[in-house]
C-alpha cells in the first residue's frame, strides 16, 4: 500500500501558487483558486504549494516568475501551464479545465 500511495502522489500534478505577502490581489486569486477547486470537488486534484516570492526568491527565479500572483502547474519535471494574474474564477477555471472533473 505504501508504494502505491507514493506513486499516486508522484503522479499528482503540483500547483505552485506564487505570491507576495503584501499583495491584496494575491489573496483574491487564492480565493478564486479555492472557489474553482471547491465548485467541482477537486480538492485532491493537485498538490498545492503556496510560495511567497519574498521568502523564496530562488524558487521564483527558477520558475521564471516575473509577476505575482502567478500559478504554475508542474507534471513530472515540466511546467505545463502558467497563469499570470488571473482576472477571476472563470478565467482560472478555463486554464485548469484539463485537470478538473
Domain-located, residue 96: no
| 6 assigned to some structural domain | yes
pLDDT at position 39: 83
For 26-84, write each residue's pLDDT tens digit.
999 999 999 999 986 887 899 999 999 999 999 999 999 999 999 999 999 999 999 99
Residue 67 resides in a domain: yes
> What are the backbone dihedrals phi and psi of residue 77, each rounded to the nearest 5 degrees, phi first?
-115, 15
Domain membership flag for residue 95: no
Q: How many domains, the chain?
A: 1
pLDDT value at 16 more than 70: yes
Q: Each residue of 81-101: pLDDT tens digit?
A: 999 999 999 999 999 999 998
Residue scoring higher pLDDT (56 or 10): 56
Helix H or strand E segment including 11: helix 2-11
Q: What is the CATH number for 36?
A: 3.40.30.10
Report residue 90 as a C-alpha cell: 472563470
Task: Label residue 2 by pLDDT band (50, 70, 90).
Answer: very low
Domain that holds residue 76: 2-85
Amino acid at each position: 500500500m505504501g508504494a502505491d500511495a507514493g506513486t499516486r502522489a508522484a503522479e499528482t500534478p503540483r500547483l505552485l501558487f506564487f505570491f507576495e505577502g503584501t499583495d491584496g490581489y494575491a489573496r483574491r486569486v487564492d480565493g478564486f483558486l479555492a472557489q474553482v477547486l471547491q465548485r467541482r470537488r477537486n480538492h485532491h486534484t493537485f498538490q498545492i504549494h503556496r510560495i511567497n516570492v519574498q521568502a523564496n526568491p530562488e524558487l521564483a527565479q527558477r520558475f521564471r516568475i516575473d509577476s505575482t500572483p502567478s500559478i504554475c502547474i508542474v507534471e513530472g519535471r515540466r511546467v505545463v501551464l502558467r497563469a499570470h494574474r488571473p482576472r477571476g474564477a472563470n478565467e482560472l477555471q478555463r486554464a485548469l479545465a484539463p485537470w478538473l472533473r
